[in-house]
Amino acid sequence: MELTYTEEQQAFRQEIRTWLKANVPSEPLKSFDTEEGFQQHREWEAKLYEGRWGMITWPEEMGGRGADLLQWLIFEEEYYAARAPLRVNQNGIFLLGPTLMEYGTEEQKKRFLNGMATGKDIWCQGWSEPNAGSDMAAIRSRADLSEDGSHYIINGQKTWSTRAVWADWCFGMFRTDPESSRHKGLTFILVPLDSEGITVRPIPQLDGLPGFAEIFFDNVKVPVDCRLGGEGEGWSVAMATAGFERGLMLRSPARFQETAKRLVELYKANREEADQDPAIRDAVIRAYLDAEAYALTTYQTACRLMQGGKIGAEASTNKIFWSELDQRMHATALKILGARAELLPHAPNAGDVGTWLDGWLFSQSGPIYAGTNEIQRNIIAERLLGMPRK
């Protein structure tokens, strides 16, 4: 691992910076948990695609730039520094896209990747079910193959599907062998959400917006060519997707470095009040150092992967670290703001409260999504430390 950038990498950074300066909207987009904001973010995905910045690590023939992981980290640093819009199609681009490249047929790649890249098709996950949240192996939703083998008939329910309210497609696992249990007899299927028999019911978040949804399947017919991987091999495909989610791509270090910089700015602007509690200054320093440490660790991991290494159960340590760091940073910001922390940005006398409250609310979900931190700690104990299951 080199701790300096090459001339090529520096030129790449400048190219990104120039494009973002010319194209990032001057006014923040509305929340993609609103219908209007969702459309705005879909259009932003299209603009990124036109600039060939939508999914830079994808191969050039698929609309990407064939960028390596270090270039991706550089891109993310510039993206967050420019305070560009959050990505509404991250489930597709960062999770399903890489899974399709690994498990999809050539026909499936041609069929799905372009729509995903342009923002035409926004994807949501269909993982959790009632009584099968973190324990995905307990899912019960059924997908029965038709007698002629042309399609599946899906019945069941998914829940906590992020951005499913306005998404176009859902990917998830369904039980195709009714006699199976746990990890066996599961199949990974891609489902168009406008299919007959699907009902999407919004679930309000803490802020009242429908960031999540339940998806009900009532005899939904899905062509068999929407199956990703072999029948009954869904667990292996899903674990690949989960690896992308918990590993490097879902939450880049730049996201937390930028939050840490904003936290330092907030502390400086309110230092007189904040220093009345010495613990706040220590928390700000720790947040900044932790964000930098996470970035260096990620650069190290990226270098190892580029040299042929793999990321396995180690991804669980990443997921725990960034999710709990995010909570600490936002909690510290609320302490600095004091009583004003509960004000929304447009409230009278809100001053510099910014979006810290929104960020704090979202950070509470970090230890839950992408597999709860309790499950991640079990993985670390068993697979990294070799501890017994009981």
Q: Provide the token pair at 190.
A: 């891609």
Q: Which of 385, 248, 215, 211 is nearest to 322 (CA)?
A: 248
Q: Which of 165, 144, 173, 332 is nearest to 256 (CA)?
A: 332
Q: Which of 93, 88, 73, 76 is nearest to 20 (CA)?
A: 76
CB 369 within 8 A of CB 128: no
Strands 186-192 and 227-228, by their bridges, are antiparallel
Alpha carbon 263 to chain centroid, angstroms: 22
Spatial separation of the C-alpha atoms in residues 365 and 318, rounded to whole Å = 16
Which listed residue (45, 77, 245, 258) is catalytic?
245
Question: 190 — phi, psi (to 5°)?
Answer: -100, 125
Report the SS3 class of residue 158. strand
Asked if 45 is an active-site residue, the reply is: no
Burial of 178 (0-12, 13-18, 19+ CB in 10 A): exposed
Strands 123-126 and 169-175, by their bridges, are parallel
Q: Provide the token pair at 174.
A: 């369904």
Catalytic residue annotation: 245
